[in-house]
A and B are shown apart, each in its own frame.
Chain A
């Protein structure tokens, strides 16, 4: 209980400094475009994954499965992920301008056991300055180049060619 309270306080202090005014937009090929605030994401169900960052050390990351967010926006996953929807991708953007791409199939639980999360904590603490409030964590990937930090936008699109 106390621990939870402390964590809550920590998170709100953090929100007051770095995360102020920041939201994550979910847009593109969605039925419901979303603008998620830190508070919105705090209400969602959390998952924990362990994975090694660039420092080579294994850390515990906690956050929301990316597919839960996509599902909330009405992205074609699960039974709908077939046919032309197989040509859809998710582009994730950072506040610093960096962009990384995932095909929908490499995120979907019907295709893979790997759970890609939108993390807001590492080893029980908020992400450090510059990397938060939210960072994508891709367990099992050898190089963390897709662990994009300071996520601001998630866009689903059809590949054009």
Chain B
């Protein structure tokens, strides 16, 4: 309740502040992230980050009026405590019909170039149109969303502060959402603290890191899991599309639906492993309930097919093996390492939380 007053008050403040001024002067929002993440970031020239825009985007992210019947917000399927996932195999939106795919974690999106499990949306602004309008998600035309907000007391002033006029449109809604999403940076896990010498992992996690980063070579007696080939680098993903051996005849053709190329059958974008311990169930269809099941898959059950990733073919700790064949202890060690990627300051960051609570 107290928060709510504060919101209205800041809205009014923004309004009165702007009506007394001729020019609109939003303040630039300065992004902070480790240099090791690289500067290949994606902010379109017509949507620079501003403090006003990011703040508005945060409100919109948790705004139920953006859905048909005011039932749900983006935050319903993307909960901060779960690194912006929802803990479900498939999500349900306004019509209670399950979505086709598992809700993705929203983390370090600033570096992503093509969104969704199949990379079909080249930009966050464009991406946001899908959940806002899809019948099994928020199910409401953009014009209706814009009208509802226009009639509110809160929003016209906030749009004015962010975009220079109180005109609310679908375009501005997606721009503000994208600005907020670009600030969702996770770079303070215990693994990051370990790299900075502020945290000492136990020996299981260190063995796990070693396996995670090493390609197996049984002929040289080198054991490894080769996860970094796809989930490597400081962001724990490389923007690649691979078929990681889940099915021989995938029910969801993945990227093939986009490209029509047979080699893309069952290929999905490699997801980040940051905060992975918080985002079960796993894979595009949420088929695995635990990291134990994921490790069991890579270790024992890689299914071969014409589009199986070459990286996973004949990659094994046993000569001639078709799956990794890690021991139970090695699997546990890798899981211990994956737990180091949980970033509690990210999931507790007050700037990302629901402002209406």
Contacts and interface: CB of A to CB of B under 8 A. Distances in A.
Given A129-B306, A130-B309, A20 B262 contact: yes
Contact of A96 (B260, B262, B267, B306): B267
Interface in A10-61: 17-18, 20-22
A40 B11 CA distance: 63
B239 A18 contact: no
Contacts of A128: 310
B310 A22 contact: no
A122 to B, nearest CB: 13
B177 to A, nearest CB: 25
A11 to B, nearest CB: 16
Contacts of B308: 129-130
Contact of A22 (B263, B269, B307, B313): B263
Interface size class of A (residues with CB under 8 A): 10 to 19
Contacts, number: 45
A22 B263 CA distance: 10
A96 B308 CA distance: 11
A149 interface: yes
A98 interface: yes
Contacts of A98: 238, 240
B1 interface: no
Contacts of A95: 241, 259, 261, 263-264
Interface size class of B (residues with CB under 8 A): 20 to 34
Contacts of B269: 97
A97 B263 contact: no
Interface of B: 119, 238-242, 259-264, 267, 269, 306-310, 313
B256 to A, nearest CB: 11
Given A95-B263, A150-B263, A18 B306 contact: yes
Contacts of B264: 95
A96 B241 contact: yes
A131 B262 contact: no
Contacts of A150: 263
B263 A18 contact: yes
A149 B309 CA distance: 11
A20 B265 CA distance: 13
Nearest to B264: A95
Given A17-B262, A18-B263, A97 B241 contact: yes
A97 B238 CA distance: 9
Contacts of B240: 96-98
Contacts of B119: 97
B309 to A, nearest CB: 7
B38 to A, nearest CB: 14
B261 A22 contact: yes
Interface string A140-161: 0000000001100000000000
11 contacts: A17-B262, A18-B306, A21-B260, A21-B261, A96-B242, A96-B309, A97-B269, A130-B306, A130-B307, A130-B309, A149-B310
A128 B307 CA distance: 11
Contacts of B261: 20-22, 95
Given A20-B262, A98-B240, 18 more contacts: A17-B262, A20-B261, A21-B261, A21-B262, A22-B261, A22-B263, A95-B261, A95-B264, A96-B240, A96-B267, A97-B119, A97-B238, A97-B240, A129-B307, A129-B308, A129-B310, A130-B307, A149-B310
* Most chain A beta carbons < 10 A, residue from B262, B264, B267, B308: B262
